Amino acid sequence: MNAPADPHFATRIRESFGRQKAMAFIGAKLTSVEPGATEITLAYREDLTQQKGFVHGGIIGMIADTACGYAAFSLMPADCSLVTVEYKINILAPARSSLVARGEVVKAGRTLTVTRAEVYAEDGKHIATMQQTLMMLPGTPDTPE
């Protein structure tokens, strides 16, 4: 059902993730790439925290957004790029540990793909849940213009 259109999807995604300077900046790692699902891991760092010392909600959103995006991208043809249309995230608990965001495809449409991510703390606590919409841009490179 979630068959990738491009057999080299994992390589393509790892290269794309490698171009995401924002992911390197916060120290996020792409730790799993499967058809329709990816995982991003983030080590706890003080410089990612908000005023009470917890990981900033926007940082949690960043890794969930990215995990969802690459889950969608894994099923798309090699010659396209994609954009995030929108995402909605519920923060379920504060986090002061490393995090893992698991993104997966809910529905892969021709133009739009709907995805979901769950974010967990090191101890397994459920930190956040995201629902996201992405749009495929056919025939556009996934690189800077």
Cβ distance to a second copy smaller for residue 4 or 12: 12
Taking every pair of Cα atoms in the chain, the longest distance, rounded to a whole number of angstroms, is 45
Residues within the interface to a second copy (CB under 8 A): 16-17, 19-25, 46-53, 56-59, 61-63, 65-66, 81, 83-94, 106-107, 109, 111-112, 114, 116, 126, 129, 131, 133, 135, 142-145
Cβ distance to a second copy smaller for residue 6 or 142: 142
Cβ distance to a second copy smaller for residue 27 or 35: 27
Cβ distance to a second copy smaller for residue 32 or 84: 84
Q: Provide the minimum distance between the beta carbon of 46 and a second copy in the complex, in angstroms, as a whole number.
A: 6
Mapping DSSP onto H, E and C, the string for the chain reads CCCCCCCCHHHHHHHHHHHCHHHHHHCEEEEEEECCEEEEEECCCHHHECCCCCECHHHHHHHHHHHHHHHHHCCCCCCCEEEEEEEEEEECCCCCCCEEEEEEEEEECCCEEEEEEEEEECCCCEEEEEEEEEEEECCCCCCCC
Cβ distance to a second copy smaller for residue 7 or 19: 19
Q: Provide the minimum distance between the beta carbon of 32 and a second copy in the complex, in angstroms, as a whole number.
A: 18
Q: Provide the minimum distance between the beta carbon of 122 and a second copy in the complex, in angstroms, as a whole number.
A: 18
Which tokens hold the place of 98? 């490393």
> 9-19 and 57-73 helices cross at what angle (nearest 10)?
150
Q: Provide the minimum distance between the beta carbon of 39 and a second copy in the complex, in angstroms, as a whole number.
A: 16
Q: Provide the minimum distance between the beta carbon of 59 and a second copy in the complex, in angstroms, as a whole number.
A: 6
